[in-house]
Amino acid sequence: MTPSEKSVAKPFLDFYTTHNIIPTHQDISDIESHVFRRNYLYRTLGLPPSLLKNKRALEFGPGTGDNAIATSMYGLDTYDFVDGNPSSVRELRRKLDLGLIKANTTKVAETNVYDYRDQVKYDLVIAEGIIPGQDRPKEFLNHIASFCTLGGIAVFTTTSYTSLLAEICRNVFRPAIVSEKKSFEQQVQIASNIFRDHLSTFSVSTRSIEDWVTDNILHNWLVSHSQVFSLVDALDTFGDRFQFYSSSPRFLVDYRWYKSVRRASPDFNGIVREQYHNFSALLLDYRVKQETIQRSQIDREWALRLEELCKQAFDIHLIICHDQNFNSLMNFIDTLHSISHILPAEMGETKSAITDYTHGIRKIARGEIDHQFGAFRSWWGRGQQYASFVREV
Ligand SMILES: C[S@@+](CC[C@H](N)C(=O)[O-])C[C@H]1O[C@@H](n2cnc3c(N)ncnc32)[C@H](O)[C@@H]1O
């Protein structure tokens, strides 16, 4: 642990229970669009609705239950939930009582996931937006995956230093926003005013700005390296016990003719390891297209260098957020310049975003809080990726 790293006694839960909130509401006013998006996600993960009919599902950290509304439309037999935040559980129970979340049987356990015990096994185990951020993510994943039946599927989210970089840049605003002299509501207001323009660059908005800034800026959820949990970390955790099934976005390709694949050939986990680093540039900026990467001949070594530099930026961001001042800002900016320097010309939008950020953040540090951030506003990484794995033993 570096001097800047601190630990949170109970990641997520401490912040949510202190403020008595669950700031992860999805906009479900247009329920058909919500269900369409979730169906797309589940199909990408290899889970068409028919596969889940009459099956048993267990969801860890359902939050508001908005996503569970869509999952429950698949006609599950059993849909059980585990969440340790009373506000989440309240909201989930409300939706169950209203019949918005349906299954033949449902059960809600209000407890810390680490403490949850049951002999029951499930066809589908879901852990969305909850593993990265835990202090012991490997132990956490092993625990939740132990509830999968043989042949069952675990769906969860991962992050990487590269996918988090754009978010890390936004976290660096914290010393200008968070202060004991301001009430929590004032801080939400200040952050909303700053980031409204950034979020509006997305063509779709599924969360309120207030929820987003509360959950991502005021909630200092990344306080140590151990909380960054990547797809490769998931492979390391599972070994041969689970096999990679699919991901969203679907990065990987397997062109092999099935008859040519032998027992000694690389398995699905091996394919992920072989190909994962090719996709770093896609993780850095959601606007980057795969053709761009192919054209610019990015290789594994480049990807590892990028991940290393993003890790360095993460390190300095920990110091800034921990010390609550901008004394280390120049180190952070220097690292961003190094990142921009290695990006291929084809990633011009990302380079411009970094340039505008490094100008802007200096002004923020000087107290010019209403500075506009130009091209930086529309730079977002693929913060979290979804993965599905099948239990083998
Ligand atoms: C970031 S929210 C994600 C909510 C929802 N899955 C989504 O993706 O929108 C994390 C949820 O997991 C719960 N949670 C986090 N850590 C937990 C733990 N150790 N034990 C129980 N619940 C936890 C929180 O209370 C919250 O409801």
Closest atom of ligand 1 relative to the 112 alpha carbon: 20
> Per the structure, how many domains does the chain have?
2
- 138 lies in some domain: yes
- 288 lies in some domain: no
Q: Write the DSSP assignment of 343-382 as a string of letters.
A: S-GGGHHHHHHHHHHHHHHHHHHTT-TT---GGGGG----
* CA–CA dist 301, 275 (Å, integer): 12
Instruction: Give the Å distance between the CA of 15 and the centre of ligand 1.
Output: 11
Instruction: Give the Å distance between the CA of 385 and the centre of ligand 1.
Output: 16
Contact 218, 321 (CB under 8 A): no
Q: Look at the alpha carbons of 391, 147, 145, 142 in this order and tell me if their dihedral is positive or negative.
A: negative
- What are the distances in angstroms from CA 179 to CA 115, 210, 382? 34, 18, 29
Tokens 């492979």 -> residue: 235
- 253 lies in some domain: no
Residue closest by Cα to atom 11 of ligand 1:
61
Query: What's the pLDDT score for residue 293?
Result: 78
Are 103 and 86 found together in one domain?
Answer: yes
Are 219 and 339 found together in one domain?
Answer: yes
Query: What's the pLDDT score for residue 215?
Result: 96
Strands (E) in the chain, as ranges, are 56-60, 78-83, 105-110, 122-127, 148-158, 242-248, 385-391
At residue 231's C-alpha, the angle toward residues 230 and 237, to 5°, is: 90
Kindly state if the Cβ of 24 falls inside 6 Å of ligand 1.
Answer: yes
CB atoms near residue 266 (< 10 Å): 13
Cα–Cα nearest to 9, from 177, 134, 125: 134
Find all residues with CB under 8 Å of 58, minimum gap 6, and list them. Answer: 80, 81, 82, 120, 122, 124, 125, 126, 147
- 82 lies in some domain: yes
- 259 lies in some domain: no
Q: pLDDT confidence of 370, banded at 50, 70, 90?
A: confident
Alpha-carbon dihedral angle through residues 98, 71, 144, 171, given to the nearest 10 degrees: -90
Contact 376, 360 (CB under 8 A): yes
Are 155 and 174 found together in one domain?
Answer: no
- The 3-state DSSP class for residue 245 equals strand
Are 204 and 137 found together in one domain?
Answer: no
Give yes or no for residue 186 having a pLDDT over 90: yes
Cα–Cα nearest to 46, from 238, 248, 275: 248
Query: What's the pLDDT score for residue 212?
Result: 96
Instruction: Give the Å distance between the CA of 64 and the centre of ligand 1.
Output: 9
Kindly state if the Cβ of 169 falls inside 6 Å of ligand 1.
Answer: no
* CA–CA dist 387, 250 (Å, integer): 9
Instruction: Give the Å distance between the CA of 129 and the centre of ligand 1.
Output: 7
Are 63 and 130 found together in one domain?
Answer: yes
Chain segment 189-222, per-residue pLDDT in tens: 999 999 999 999 987 788 999 999 999 999 998 8
Kindly state if the Cβ of 80 falls inside 6 Å of ligand 1.
Answer: no
- 289 lies in some domain: no
Taking residues 278-294, report their average pLDDT. 87
Q: pLDDT confidence of 3, banded at 50, 70, 90?
A: low
Are 211 and 333 found together in one domain?
Answer: yes
Chain segment 341-364, per-residue pLDDT in tens: 999 999 999 999 999 999 999 999
Phi first, then psi: what are they for 21, rounded to 5°? Answer: -140, 165
Give pTM, 2 decimals. 0.96
Say which residue, 180 or 115, is predicted with more confidence.
115
Query: What's the pLDDT score for residue 226?
Result: 86
Say which residue, 1 or 342, is predicted with more confidence.
342
Say which residue, 294 or 138, is predicted with more confidence.
138
Tokens of 135: 């202090």
Are 183 and 302 found together in one domain?
Answer: yes
Kindly state if the Cβ of 83 falls inside 6 Å of ligand 1.
Answer: yes
Q: What is the CATH number of the domain that holds 135?
A: 3.40.50.150
Give yes or no for residue 297 having a pLDDT over 80: no
Kindly state if the Cβ of 302 falls inside 6 Å of ligand 1.
Answer: no
Instruction: Give the Å distance between the CA of 305 and the centre of ligand 1.
Output: 32
Are 188 and 138 found together in one domain?
Answer: no
Chain segment 34-93, per-residue pLDDT in tens: 999 999 999 999 999 999 999 999 999 999 999 999 999 999 999 999 999 999 999 999
Are 229 and 367 found together in one domain?
Answer: no
- 257 lies in some domain: no
Kindly state if the Cβ of 128 falls inside 6 Å of ligand 1.
Answer: yes
Closest atom of ligand 1 relative to the 66 alpha carbon: 9
Kindly state if the Cβ of 13 falls inside 6 Å of ligand 1.
Answer: yes
Closest atom of ligand 1 relative to the 63 alpha carbon: 27
Q: Which domain holds residue 364?
A: 162-223+295-378
Instruction: Give the Å distance between the CA of 51 and the centre of ligand 1.
Output: 25
Are 167 and 101 found together in one domain?
Answer: no
Closest atom of ligand 1 relative to the 127 alpha carbon: 6
- 255 lies in some domain: no
Are 203 and 76 found together in one domain?
Answer: no
Are 109 and 206 found together in one domain?
Answer: no
Residue closest by Cα to atom 3 of ligand 1:
129
Mean pLDDT, the chain, integer: 94
* CA–CA dist 279, 299 (Å, integer): 10
